[in-house]
Structures are given as C-alpha cells and as structure tokens.
Amino acid sequence: MISERQEKLLNFLIKEYIITAAPVSSLELKKITDLDVCGATIRNDLQALTEEGYITQPHTSAGRIPTQKAYRHFSEKMESARQREMDDFIVRQVRYARQEMESQMKMMEELMQTLENDNLFEILNILEKWHKKI
C-alpha cells in the first residue's frame, strides 16, 4: 500500500515519463510537484515505490521509470476517477430532470384548476408561460 504522497509522486513520475520518455530524477520531481518536501523525502518515497514494484531504476545514477504495475495502477485510478465523475454527472442530471418534472406538474395543476373555473384568458396565459419554458 502506498501513501497519498507516494501516489502523487508516482502520478507525476508517470506523466513526466510519458512526456519525456526519459528516466525521471528526484530533482525533476521536486521541481514539477506541488509537494513541500525535501529531496531526501522524495528519494525515500521513490525507494519505497521501487520496493513495491511500481518503479525501477535503469542504473544507479539514473532517474526512475514506471513499471507495468505502475501503469496498471495509474489507469485503474484514472478509470475510477472518471466513473466517479460520470456518477456525479448522472446524479446532477436526475436532480435536474426531477426539478423540471415538478415544475411541469405544478403548471399542469394550475392549468387544471383554471380549467375548472372556465377562465379562458388565464388558460391561455398559463399555456403561453409553459410554451416559453419549453
């Protein structure tokens, strides 16, 4: 299990590696991340990610590159985030549709009450409001 900070570092590392196709150093990660930690902390986190199998170091003095495990983890997280966004979108759309239906029902009730009173002028006003709303 990786920490939230390690997760952020891994995401930045993967994105940077995709852009540059070159191993990413701890110094580069310090420059591109919004984390307020020292280089040694980043190196320690990178070591932990290496031990977990998320990244590898081509040779001793090189930066790190993501492994297949890292790409799989990254894509699963992205898919999960997209699914949450889609779920939120659907909930918002259902709420909006419900509000619209309630509004339409209220106008129908007004129309039915007006029909009972046989007031043609009011009926036309309600229908005009309804037409403009649609």
Provide CB contacts within 8 A for 3, sequence distance 6+: 45
Q: Is the pLDDT of residue 112 over 80?
A: no
Looking at residue 134, its pLDDT comes to 58
Place 107 in a pLDDT band, splitting at 50, 70 and 90: confident
Q: Is residue 71 part of a domain?
A: no
pTM: 0.62
Q: How many CB atoms lie within 10 A of CB 89?
A: 10
Domain limit, last residue, from 24, 42, 66: 66
Q: CATH number for the domain including 41? A: 1.10.10.10
Q: Is residue 123 part of a domain?
A: yes
Parent domain of 119? 81-133
Do 8 and 53 sit in the same domain of this protein?
A: yes
Q: How far is CA 119 from CA 1, 19, 104, 113, in A?
A: 71, 70, 20, 10
Q: Is the pLDDT of residue 53 over 70?
A: yes
Domain limit, last residue, from 43, 66, 89: 66
